[in-house]
Structure formats: structure tokens, C-alpha cells
Amino acid sequence: MEPDSGKPALTEALNQLWARFLPEIEEKVAVLSSAAATSSASPLSIEQQEAARDVAHKLAGVLGTFGLTEGTNLAREAEILYTANPNPAGAARLTEIATQLRAIIANRK
């Protein structure tokens, strides 16, 4: 048995998992985008802030599972920004992060 003989099967399994979880991943990015838009207009409630932080944390892990290191780093940055209630500059960065995450996810499809 050659060392790389299992690689196509692993790639196919990851692709199937990606397809299965893609709607959930896209939903998480939408939550982050919505929270960023809300925070640019007014401070987030504690519940909104915690929800956005939790979503960013979960997204970081999921993207890491699929080898999307840049996406993981961006989601971690969002998690940190949502730890404190974002100011307008933070809200602008969070909007950028959501846009970048969408692009990373679209390129993985």
C-alpha cells in the first residue's frame, strides 16, 4: 500500500463534510455580519455580544477543521473584538472580517 493511497478518500470525505456543514458555516458568517452592522449603529446588548463571540469561536474551530487557517485567524480576531463591545472602528473591522470570511468560504466550495 502506498503512503498516499488514502488521500483521495480523505479529501472526498472532507468535501462531503464541507457540503453538509456549509449552510451552517454560512449562517454563522451571517450572524457575525449582522452583529457588525448592529454594532456600527449602536452598542450590542450583552446577549448579542456573547452570541457573536460564541459564533466566532465555533466558526474558528470549524474552519480550522477544513484547513482554512486564514479563516480561523479572522474568526479568532472577531471573537476577541466581540469580547469587548465594539466601538465604530471595531465594527468596521468586524464588517471587513465577515466579508473576508465569505470570500474564503466561497473559494473553498
pLDDT for position 7: 81
**Is 56 within 8 Å of 82 (Cβ atoms)?**
yes
Domains defined along the chain, listed by start: 8-108 (1.20.120)
pLDDT, tens digit (0-9, with 9 covering 90-100), for 64-108: 999 999 999 999 999 999 998 888 889 999 999 999 999 999 998
Cell of 104: 474564503
pLDDT for position 1: 43
Read off the pTM.
Answer: 0.88
How far CA 63 is from CA of 31, 48, 74, in Å, comes to 16, 22, 10
